[in-house]
Amino acid sequence: MDFYYPNFQNDMWRIVGYLTFGDRQAFEDPSARRFDQPKIEAFCRERGIAMYDTSEEIIRLNDNASDASLQVVREVNLGALLSAIPQCHTLLATGGKAAETLCRITGCALPAVGAWSPARHAGRELRIWRMPSSSRAYPRSVEWKAEFYRRPFQEVGIL
């Protein structure tokens, strides 16, 4: 994929649009059923948002992307990633498997959905937030999911 959350069925960019612009369609391309990738990339650069996977190699045990069907083979080298982003101190895991993986890497406790756990990794104090999945397979409204993202977005200055 060229960028994160490109699937038009995923609600991530609707959540971000709703929170930052009050418009869940803010990142949609009005000429097609897709997201406006250049607009999203510019927004992320402007707001200091970086995205990366918690696992660099996985096996899909079934033919779907559900957490239960993913086996982590190789986790991200979080220390190397953090060294490339020296100002990063807050990580949002967008789903259970991502949160479990980050907590395993950092040795922190798994937080409840919408909460964070303190972690120390690569000489840095971190907050590991566990967010609800933005997938439509998680059957909640954009507005409901967005409320979980509001607090960390406010704390880091995205809002």
Using pLDDT thresholds of 50, 70 and 90, give the confidence band for residue 57. confident
| 63 or 155, greater pLDDT | 155
Given this model, what pLDDT does residue 1 score? 61
In this predicted structure, the answer to whether residue 21 has a pLDDT above a threshold of 90 is yes
Mean pLDDT of 141-158: 95
DSSP line for the chain: --SSS--TT--HHHHHHHHHHS-TTTTEETTTTEE-HHHHHHHHHHHT-----SEEEEEESSSS--GGGEEEEEE--HHHHHHH-TT--EEEEESHHHHHHHHHHHTPPPPPTT-EEEEEETTEEEEEEEEPP-STTS---HHHHHHHHHHHHHHHT--
Going from N- to C-terminal start, the domains of the chain cover: 12-156
| 77 or 58, greater pLDDT | 77
Tally Cβ neighbours within 10 Å of residue 101.
21
Q: Which fold would CATH assign to domain 12-156?
A: Uracil-DNA Glycosylase, subunit E (3.40.470)
Q: Locate tokens 């971190």: which residue? A: 126
Given this model, what pLDDT does residue 51 score? 93
Given this model, what pLDDT does residue 8 score? 92
